[in-house]
Amino acid sequence: MYADKLFLDYSIPKTLQLKLSGDWRIFSALPTVDEVIAHFSAHPEVENITFSVSENIEWDSGLISFLRHVTRESENRNIRVNLEGLPQGAQKLLAMALQVSEKIIQRPIVHEPFLERVGAQALRVTQSTLSLLNFLGDIVVSFARFFSGKVYFRREEFITILQKCGSDALPLVSLISALVGIILAFIGAIQLRLFGAQIFIADIVGIAMVRVMGAVMTGVLMSGRTGASFAAELGIMQTNEEIDALRTLGISPVEFLVLPRVMALVIMMPLLTLYADIMGILGGFVISTGVLGLNPVEYWNHTQSAVKVAHLWIGLIHSFVFGIIIAVAGCLRGIRCARSAVAVGEATTSAVVTAITCIVIATAIITFVCQVLGV
């Protein structure tokens, strides 16, 4: 193999001459050291290794790494290696490569016993709970300071954030909530048709959308859309030391970055939810009157009588709570982000997962409370 590159010459007694020629660059296939090592075992009488290179040789690190290996192996077998036959540059480079020690510095890997890990995990849970409470406290304080006019508040940026998490989300919210309305109408139709009570589709769509679905769907959408973007934005700012820069100036990052975001989402979520309610009802209306053949006027009257102000309030309470959840989860994960590209990704994921989980839990709690209160 590789006869054009490597030839082993035993013509001088006790000496192995490696004749190198051709392309020894890393882009071409190179002989492996094993072939030479095999020769060492077959010819135990060899005491010296010399090299000769032909005119046409082209070399780079490929040759050096090969030679380095050969030299090391020979030294282990007490064979002397004479590098003189090699090109000047290769000799220098090889000498450098041979100087370095073989040892690999171990990364400090900490082995934790099981109990220690459990303990550490428990401490982490307490710590993260405390840190969450701390963060919430900071937000409350900054709100208090805001209402007493002590916060440096950038109106233009706030309006940009409002726009990003409000009007920019309208197309997506329209599409999804209209589709949810349509789905509700179809599902209602399956059962109600059996009783000839299809007109009650209007009640189902209206109540479901206004009371819970509008808020939940908007919440899920906004977690993925705005919560993720908050986390990524603040995470990158943390990575770039922009948040440290705020702290050195005595500006609280919570006041400067978190407050406007929480405020924007708390304002926008109820509005978006109202919009989603309307779109959902509209979706149900179009399907019921267009496909299921209900009377538009009757449908409208039914919707009006079914949807009460209480439902509307419950829906708005949902959306208000979701707004806080999404903004806090996004900002918290962003600000607590570690400094690397991977960490920003993790922060974003965790922001979305936390927000959606908490939204579902909050929905369950609110529904239960409403049930108990009989609303």
Q: Which residues bind other proteins (CB under 8 A)?
A: 25-30, 32, 60-62, 64-66, 68-69, 89, 92-93, 96-97, 99-101, 103-107, 339-342
Cα 218 to Cα 153: distance, rounded to the nearest angstrom: 27
Cα 326 to Cα 60: distance, rounded to the nearest angstrom: 56
Smallest distance, Å, CB 44 to other proteins?
A: 25
Smallest distance, Å, CB 86 to other proteins?
A: 14
Smallest distance, Å, CB 105 to other proteins?
A: 4
Neighbours of 314 (CB within 10 A): 20
Q: Which is nearer to other proteins, 100 or 249 (CB)?
A: 100
Smallest distance, Å, CB 6 to other proteins?
A: 14
Cα 12 to Cα 16: distance, rounded to the nearest angstrom: 7
Sign for the pseudo-dihedral over CA of 10, 14, 20, 25: positive
Q: Which is nearer to other proteins, 103 or 111 (CB)?
A: 103
Residue type at 297 in one-letter notation: V
Residue listed under structure tokens 């919430």? 136
Smallest distance, Å, CB 221 to other proteins?
A: 30
Distances in Å between the Cα of 153 and the Cα atoms of 146, 150, 175, 353 are 8, 9, 34, 30
Q: Which is nearer to other proteins, 62 or 224 (CB)?
A: 62
Q: Which is nearer to other proteins, 104 or 190 (CB)?
A: 104
Cα 354 to Cα 330: distance, rounded to the nearest angstrom: 9
Cα 328 to Cα 151: distance, rounded to the nearest angstrom: 19
Q: Which is nearer to other proteins, 23 or 277 (CB)?
A: 23
DSSP β-ladder status, 6-9 and 15-20: antiparallel
Cα 282 to Cα 285: distance, rounded to the nearest angstrom: 5
Count H helices, E strands: the chain? 15, 6
Tokens of residue 254, six digits:
């919570």
Q: Which is nearer to other proteins, 23 or 233 (CB)?
A: 23
Burial 345-371 (b: 16+ CB within 10 A, else e): ebbbebbbebbbebbeebbeebeeebe
Q: Which is nearer to other proteins, 66 or 230 (CB)?
A: 66
Cα 223 to Cα 363: distance, rounded to the nearest angstrom: 15
- Strand locations in 30-172 (E): 48-53, 58-59, 80-82
Smallest distance, Å, CB 26 to other proteins?
A: 4
Smallest distance, Å, CB 233 to other proteins?
A: 19
Across the chain, which distance is largest between two alpha carbons, in Å?
A: 110
Q: Which is nearer to other proteins, 291 or 338 (CB)?
A: 338
CA 220 and chain centroid, separation: 17
Q: Which is nearer to other proteins, 85 or 87 (CB)?
A: 87
